[in-house]
Amino acid sequence: MSFENLFTYSATQYEIVLSVFTLTAAVFAAVLVYSLATASSIAPRYRLTSYLTGVVMVSAVLELGLLALRWSGGFTWDGERYVQSGDLFSNGFRYMNWSIDVPVLLTQLLIVAGITGTVFFRRWAAFVVAGLAMIWTGYVGQFDEVDGGAQFWVWGAISTVFYLWLLVVAGQTIRDAKARASAGVSRLFQAVWVLFLVSWTIYPLAYLMPQIWDDANGVVIRNLIYSFADISSKAVYGVLLAVIAQRVSAEDGFGPAIESDFWSDDRVAAKA
> Which residues in the chain land under pLDDT 70?
1, 260-272
Give the pLDDT of residue 260: 67
Give the pLDDT of residue 12: 94
The CA distance from 231 to 223, in Å, is: 12
Chain segment 207-216, per-residue pLDDT in tens:
999 898 989 9
> Between vectors from CA 255 to CA 48 and to CA 248, what angle results, nearest 5°?
50
Chain segment 228-242, per-residue pLDDT in tens:
999 999 999 999 999
Give the pLDDT of residue 261: 57
The CA distance from 138 to 161, in Å, is: 11
Give the pLDDT of residue 224: 94
Beta bridge partners of 9: 82
Global pTM value: 0.88
- The residue type found at 141 is G
Give the pLDDT of residue 195: 92
Instruction: Check if the beta carbon of residue 223 is closer than 8 Å to that of residue 272.
Output: no
Ordered alpha helix ranges (H), 87-231: 92-112, 117-142, 150-180, 183-201, 203-212, 216-230
In this structure, which long-range contacts are made by residues 99-102, counting pairs with CB atoms below 8 Å and at least 24 apart in sequence? 99/132, 99/135, 99/136, 100/55, 100/56, 100/59, 101/56, 101/59, 101/60, 101/234, 102/131, 102/132, 102/134, 102/135
- Of 272, 259, 257, 268, nearest to 49 by C-alpha is 257
The CA distance from 242 to 36, in Å, is: 10
The CA distance from 100 to 92, in Å, is: 13
What is the CB neighbour count within 10 angstroms for residue 149? 12
> Between vectors from CA 56 to CA 52 and to CA 61, what angle results, nearest 5°?
145
The CA distance from 171 to 201, in Å, is: 14
Residues in the chain: 272
What is the Cα 39 distance to its own chain's centre? 20
